[in-house]
Structure 1
Amino acid sequence: MDELIRARAELVLLEERPRELLQQLLDVRAAVVAQRSKIDEIIRSRPTVISRLPIELLLSIIHIDIHASYAPQKRKQELASVSRRWRDVILHSPCLWTTVHVASGISSTKTHLERSRGALLDIVIEAAGWSRSKHLALVPCLDIVESHAHRWRSLLVTSSDEHVGDDNDDEMPLTEFIGEKIKHLQFPSLKRVAILGPSTYCGIGYLDFLSVDHAPALEHLELEEFTTLHDIAKPITMLKTLRLEFCVGSGGIGYVPFPYLIPTQALTKLSLSGCMAIFLPPQNSIHFPSLKTLQMFYVTEIRPFMNVLVAPNLEEFDCIPMGDGDASSVAWSGLSFKFTHVRHLSFSRSGSAETYRTPEILYDDIMALCKTFPGVHHVELDAEYLPYLVKPTPIQEPSSNSYGRLPIDLWTELQSLTLDGLHSKWLDPNQFLAWLVDRQMLGLRQLHVKLKNLCSYGTDENHVEHYFPPLYEHLKENCILELDNFPLSLCIHLSSMPADSSLRLHSAKLPTSLMVDVAAAILAGDMDPNVVSLASE
């Protein structure tokens, strides 16, 4: 009897067990739901990742975004509306309020001056047209920023070329108007000035505010559409970089203000462009002891300036000659010993070919260029120059079958060669490959060859994809080859290369579609991921 009771009691316990387990399951599920809700609440209550960024890093991101915008003030307002933290960062960061657009109005100007809290200022003055009444509208804001002239760090004056003048309204370039308005001020902190605008002949003295008496700390100057001969009463002795774009003045003659404007002692970078027709100083009469970089873009007469220039420390020369100017053999003749320290040479005619007549390339032109810069390490040229650089030319003697030295051999220290555009003449077998092979056999270091814009000069893309791969196979065996901006389909063709080679795709704006296509090619096995790298400049 006791055994039956115990059995029944055990059965009751067993029957109760599923109900207990079910209740535990329900309790666990409820606990899971509660825990998930708690986690979600914690996540919602926590600030976002970007909100947890240190103030310095967040400010740096906002600063970059605002200054990259075409409408900085509007972008600043948009970012301030994201959150209270962003608003506080923007309102209480002086570096975001140092750029003052004078044309934005009195209220905006005062706000920027107040919130910049004594920091150095970047003044921007913009106007359309040459109407004096339009310029007078800037006066109230100019009066405000003039009282802070001691804080000016940079000045940008720019106007459109829209000629808007009423019948009873005097015409005055914005540059001259601003120069007259501020020429009595002192700018002890001013380091950078850019005056950009339409071609005009301004009155004498309109740039007096740039003299050493008014802006003693000025280091960087850009003058666009520059015309007058004696614009500044005293030279700017501390200037380090200078860009001058000369224009044709009255009577069709361009004027060059040497030696009245250009300081020679401290200048490290000089950029010249435009008409330099009147320029006859004595040979080797202008000395630039500190000049490192010289740029000459679309200059009408290169030879006269290079003839008077003395720059013993010049390291970089960048030139785009005027298409209808002197040939290279004329421009560089007799200058062989003046520029032996130049290490970087960029010489292009492609920019002028659209507007000006481009003269035929002659052997003497190439030889003159190579002789003038014998010590270069890095050279960038239009691809059309290549056949002439490596083409042996018969020595000019009667009944002689001997050949002279290759022009490129004059560059005995050459380390890298960049060719812009794949010229159709060297898609076929050419002397360049033979020259690279000879270079290897002589035990010289491999040349770094960079090819840019493979389908320029009207070369058919299908033609390139058909003929270039065999050429590429030979090139990569005899040089360090880099390709910049070329069709992805061609990249697929070139991907079956040995592992010790490298292929780089460069693009100023590397599109997402290209990255997706490359990734798909890698996944499909059409491209080896070990030999491909993507670079966005």
Structure 2
Amino acid sequence: MSLDADLARHEATIQKLESARNDLLRQLEELDLKLLSEKAQYSQLRNHKVAIHALPNELLGLVFGLAHSSLRFDRPGHADAQRLRFLVHTSWVCTRWRQVILRTPLLWNTIAMTVFNGFEGYAPAQESLLAHLERSGDAYLDMDFFLATDDPKDFLPFFDIIGSHSKRWRRLSVEMQIADIPIVRKVLQNLEVPKLEHFSLNIWETSEKGPFSPRTPYPTIAPQIFMKGATDLCLLRLAGAALGSLHPQSTSIRILHVGGWEKSFFTWAQFRSLLESLPSLENLSLHELCIRHNTRNPLDQPAPINLPNLRRLRLHSPFTPIDRILPLLSTPKLEQVSLRTFETFESPVMPTVTYLHLNECAFDDVHYEDLFASFPNIQHVSVDEYAYLLYNMLRHSLPPVNDATTAPNSNSNANSNSTTCPWSSLHTLTVRDLSSSEVNVFVEMVRQRKEAQVPIKTVRLDRRGRNVVRLKHKWDQLAEHTSVVSWDGAESWPPGLGYEDPHDLV
């Protein structure tokens, strides 16, 4: 009996202690909750003493917007992740900041996103896109998408989601690895886009695929999307399979980017019809374009293309020799020409052109002579490390120093100099990635042109150029003969665009 009594006594004691322990744990949990609540209230009250708390919500939202927009990266997926992470982490600071972020539409109206395979059945990706669209309220939308999916089932839900907000589109850039053209056309055909200013569509491949050779003409250049009109559309980019299949209904375009596709070519009639259908066209960029206008009859010359308002022309790696195209363009107001990845260049004389931009153009002496002849009135040239032969060419035909200095005030001497030296009107030279081996020739060219009374008044150098000039101990000598300006910014095209173009082909 004594053993049973001891067991019962110990059992009762254990139950009593466990009950007391549970009570203490419950009290501790309640105490932890009270402590967390007090800390939260303390932190909230303490936030009122911070200077930033005195900012009104509107100004605080502006600060967040500036920080958010500064997060720019090369790839849309990284940009989207960084910007979203900023919004999430900032909203954790306090309740007020969270409310400001969620209720500021301009923090959510810029969307950069990569759409991967399985978008149709992947709820988090769709919810993220929907959250941006809903939180942006009625603000305009600037959207940049890269569709890395090759599943046609992903196209419809994606375009349905963004298409339901088409009336708020301001800038839309879409790059697709592969696309079903009829599906994309059907989705975009009747959308209303009253605010759309920038539309870029680049399709690498179609779902039909097929051989790369021989090339076939583009199907059509007739409008097939936005059939209700895009009256505010200023910038249009069509590249790859989008060209010839998904042209918008608009005549207000001022900036046109055309990117060729290795399976197709423009007939001259198509190319002419496309350009002349845009009466307001001021900026034209042609990227890897194939244009065929040759006929069996040598007397059958294609009709020229009249571009009365064109001011800037950019050419990048054309499949068709440029000397077959430029003579057929009538451009009475052309001011700027940009060339990229050229090895040869021939063109008729263009006296109105005053600005020339060269990028990765490995010209030899003969082709620089052609440039001098084609663009006699150049005032500003922008070059990179590929243009190392240009510096010697700019010294070509300069009069001897003693002749140039004997009568510095002689008008006849100045006129003689201007007629013999290349680009006598050149006053600004922008140099990117100046090589250390070319510093001496470059500085000597600047000196000699000044002494010959055809000076380069301004030289713009990037960081590398400034460093190599200093390392060669030529800075003082260069600064003695010209004004040296720091120039580290990227040259946008066209100049003065005012915003970042995420899918610029060049």
TM-score scaled by structure 2?
0.65
**Alignment partner of 1:293 is 2:297:** no
Separation in 2, partners of 1:220, 1:345:
22
Task: Tell me the residue number matched to 2:174.
Answer: 157
CA shift for structure 1 position 272: 1.3
Separation in 1, partners of 2:221, 2:128:
28
Separation in 2, partners of 1:429, 1:183:
55
Partner of 1:258, secondary structure, is helix
Task: Tell me the residue number matched to 1:221.
Answer: 236
Separation in 2, partners of 1:151, 1:483:
40
Q: Deviations over 1:305-345 (max 9, x none)?
A: 3212222222222111434xxx23xx12xx22xx3232321
Structure 1 unmatched runs, 5+: 1-40, 162-171, 351-357, 395-403, 485-505, 509-537
1:289/1:313 contact within 8 Å kept:
yes
Two-structure CA RMSD over aligned residues (Å): 3.9
Give the one of 261, 279, 287 matched to 1:265.
279
Q: Deviations over 1:198-254 (max 9, x none)?
A: 24488957995545644333221122325754653x76311111112112116xx57
2:190/2:226 contact within 8 Å kept:
no
CA shift for structure 1 position 298: 1.9
CA distance 1:289–1:82, change in 2 (3 Å):
farther
Separation in 2, partners of 1:408, 1:85:
71
CA shift for structure 1 position 427: 2.3
Map 1:439-454 to 2 at 5 A. 439=452, 442=453, 447-452=457-462
Task: Tell me the residue number matched to 2:426.
Answer: 414
**Aligned residue type for 2:314:** Q
CA shift for structure 1 position 126: 4.0
Q: Deviations over 1:78-114 (max 9, x none)?
A: 2222222221221112222334668664444444444
Partner of 2:325, secondary structure, is helix
Q: How many residues align?
A: 392
**Alignment partner of 1:148 is 2:165:** yes
Give the one of 237, 254, 257 matched to 2:251.
237
2:256/2:283 contact within 8 Å kept:
yes
Structure 2 unmatched runs, 5+: 1-42, 72-78, 209-217, 295-299, 400-415, 491-506
| Fraction of identical pairs, as percent | 22
Task: Tell me the residue number matched to 1:312.
Answer: 332
Map 1:124-143 to 2 at 5 A. 124-135=144-155, 138-139=156-157, 142-143=159-160
Separation in 1, partners of 2:150, 2:455:
59
Task: Tell me the residue number matched to 1:399.
Answer: none
Map 1:9-408 to 2 at 5 A. 44=46, 46-67=48-69, 68=71, 69-71=79-81, 72-99=83-110, 105-135=125-155, 138-139=156-157, 142-159=159-176, 161=177, 173=179, 177-200=183-206, 204=219, 208-210=223-225, 213-226=228-241, 228-229=243-244, 231-232=246-247, 236-249=250-263, 257-262=270-275, 263-279=277-293, 285-300=304-319, 301-323=321-343, 327-328=344-345, 331-332=346-347, 335-336=348-349, 339-349=350-360, 358=362, 361-362=364-365, 364-381=366-383, 382-392=387-397
Partner of 2:66, secondary structure, is helix
Partner of 2:80, secondary structure, is coil
Partner of 1:392, secondary structure, is coil
**Aligned residue type for 2:368:** I
**Aligned residue type for 2:430:** T
CA shift for structure 1 position 296: 1.2
Separation in 2, partners of 1:201, 1:438:
63
Larger radius of gyration: 1
TM-score scaled by structure 1?
0.62
**Aligned residue type for 1:436:** R
CA distance 1:434–1:146, change in 2 (3 Å):
closer
1:422/1:453 contact within 8 Å kept:
no
CA shift for structure 1 position 274: 0.5
